[in-house]
Chains A and B, each alone.
Chain A
């Protein structure tokens, strides 16, 4: 009997403690592109503030917004801006989405260093990746077949590239990657294939580019300047294949949430952005 009371007592203590932990926990959900970044922020932040518990899960930007609206997460990560429809849905549930830009992301288009092609316009890129342009000759290179490399369809980067380069940001667009495009399972696999194949072209986060690949200069259209995927060009918005990464909250951040977001935007937080191959908001 005594032991039963004792164990009940412990149970009570434990449950009080765990409910306190719930109050101290923040659920972060959304964009798969941002999962690693948010996870790194969360880990470092929990080292500084061990009493706070941050849970990061992916699922895609859309999943993030729907959980924010249904109240199953405190922070939604998104690699796109919230849609009108989603704002209307949120307001109906009494949720007021508040947007905070936390980092930038730039995609480099890479070729083998032996390839003489140095620069491409967005239109030419769309042509290459949809299969309309098949030979490097048409772009001023050698007479060689273009081998198009892409990430697998499960990748957020694949979707972003399709929507912003192939479809030029037109939501009604129907352009698709050429069926002959090789779908590789990681950025590393694309980097390896580019390094050994003079006819290949691919894309990935600009942090991945090294001496074995060459990042081409990209122009918005034939009249614009060709820009290199550098941190400065992404910050200034001159490099065309880049996008902001957002956190969305219900109302402006208060208390614990504000503290965490201040950390993300601080010098230390933006340092982590660089380490995870993204681009900080400013130098």
Chain B
């Protein structure tokens, strides 16, 4: 009887463990099935490098280059803002801050992570968008930069908490050794602790970027959604995610537009897969 119970529980846990992989595979297969159908109407190079996106015209123009570049532009901008601030914040929390401030900062960062993205998007729409318009004297504030600033806020909690973990797990003896050799506090951080934690910090950065690429609601509200190839960060852009969210509701099931949106989903899946695998490689490097 006990053996049977053991057996059942073991299999149940095995099933739960496999379930998540099973779902991922199912989702991926579904994406492929629906998305690859678009290549009956356009060739993959036409789809990936086409410069115009007019999905409901007759015949439809299904080129997603402006969307890919839009997503990359916003992501790059967000990375440039959030990585230096995020890593510096993690260093301060892990190495410099007194215990009390450390606790306050940590809970503050967690709170930032808990704000829904639609709320951040709304705040961005009424604050950052007019600011950017007046600071840079632009015709409109709905630009890639507005999206990048808002997404930087969203990536920060991920970067700070994982980077802080990485810094914390550097053995105490490293720091003590550096200080004993006459290094100042900053020299110890800069020359010893940061390099020792570098792979963990890289993983933090990658996961932060992964969050940014997949973000939808906030970018849809503040980047203007114009499907034009961006020449500067002060232009409106349309991202891959916003395109899917804005158009899926009305796309006729089984139409070229519908398949094209699933193909956009595949592109997004591939990008975030690469980013996550990158993060994983860095994390494993750290373990060795």
Q: How far is the CA of A182 from the CA of B129 in the complex (A)?
A: 14
In angstroms, Cα B238 to Cα A180, docked, is 10
B182 contact set on A, CB distance < 8 A: none
A88 within 8 A of B: no
The answer to whether A15 has its CB under 8 Å from any CB of chain B is: no
A74 CB-CB contact with B under 8 Å = no
> Which residues of B (3-55) have their CB < 8 Å from a CB of A?
52-55
Is B250 part of the binding interface, using a Cβ–Cβ cutoff of 8 Å? Answer: yes
Give the distance in Å from the alpha carbon of A32 to the alpha carbon of B250 in the complex.
9
B139 to A154, Cβ gap below 8 A?
Answer: no
Looking at chain B's contact residues, is the secondary structure mostly helix, strand, loop, or mixed?
loop
**Is A197 located at the chain interface by the 8 A CB criterion?**
yes
B139 engages A182 (CB within 8 Å)? no
Task: Report chain B residues within 8 Å CB of A42.
Answer: none
Interface centre among B54, B56, B228, B250 (most CB of A within 10 A): B250
1/0 per residue A128-160: CB within 8 Å of B?
000000000000000011110000111100010
B226 touches A154 (CB 8 A): no
Chain B residues positioned under 8 Å from A193 (CB to CB): 140, 142
Interface pair B54/A183, CB less than 8 Å apart: no
Taking a contact as CB atoms under 8 Å apart, the answer to whether B225 and A199 are in contact is no
Q: How far is the CA of A153 from the CA of B247 in the complex (A)?
A: 7
In the complex, A109 has a CB within 8 A of chain B: no
Cβ–Cβ contact B139 & A153, under 8 A: no
How far is the CB of A54 from the nearest CB of chain B, in Å?
Answer: 23
CB-defined contacts of B52 to chain A, threshold 8 Å: 176, 179
Say whether, besides A144-B139, A199-B139, A179 and B228 are in contact (CB < 8 Å): yes
Give A144's nearest chain B residue, CB to CB: B139
Inside 8 A of A200's CB, which chain B residues have their CB?
139-140
Q: Report B-chain residues with C-beta under 8 Å of the C-beta of A196.
A: 130
Write the B218-238 contact mask toward A (1 if CB under 8 angstroms, else 0).
001100111110000000101
- What residues on A are CB-neighbors of B236 within 8 Å? 180, 182
A33 to chain B, nearest CB (A): 12
Q: Are A197 and B220 in contact (CB under 8 A)?
A: no
CA distance A154 to B52 in the complex (A): 17
Range of interface residues on A (Cβ < 8 Å): 20 to 34
Note all chain A residues with C-beta closer than 8 A to B251: 154
CA distance A176 to B60 in the complex (A): 11
Which residues of A are found within 8 Å of B106, using beta-carbon distances? none
Report the bound CA distance from A67 to B225 in whole Å. Answer: 33
| Contact between A180 and B228, CB atoms less than 8 A apart | yes
Output the nearest chain B residue to A185 by Cβ-Cβ distance: B246
Establish whether residues B249 and A147, one from each chain, have CB atoms under 8 Å apart when the complex forms. no
In the bound complex, do residue A154 and residue B140 qualify as a contact, i.e. CB atoms below 8 Å apart?
Answer: no
CA distance A197 to B221 in the complex (A): 16
With a cutoff of 8 Å between Cβ atoms, the chain B residues found around residue A257 in the complex are none
Contacting residues, chain B, for A185 (C-beta < 8 A):
220-221, 225, 246
A184 within 8 A of B: yes
Tell whether, in the assembled complex, residue B140 and residue A182 are in contact, meaning their CB atoms are under 8 Å apart: yes
A59 CB, min distance to chain B CBs, angstroms: 8
Interface residue A265 (Cβ < 8 Å from any Cβ of B): no
A-B contacts, 11 listed (Cβ < 8 Å): A147-B139, A153-B250, A154-B246, A154-B247, A154-B249, A154-B251, A159-B56, A179-B66, A180-B236, A181-B226, A199-B139
Instruction: Other than A153-B246, A183-B246, give 20 A-B pairs with Cβ distance below 8 A.
Output: A144-B139, A146-B139, A147-B139, A152-B225, A153-B54, A153-B56, A153-B250, A154-B249, A176-B54, A176-B57, A179-B226, A182-B140, A182-B225, A182-B236, A183-B238, A185-B225, A185-B246, A193-B142, A196-B130, A197-B133
Residues of A at under 8 Å CB distance from B? 32, 60, 63, 144-147, 152-155, 159, 176, 179-185, 189, 192-193, 196-197, 199-200
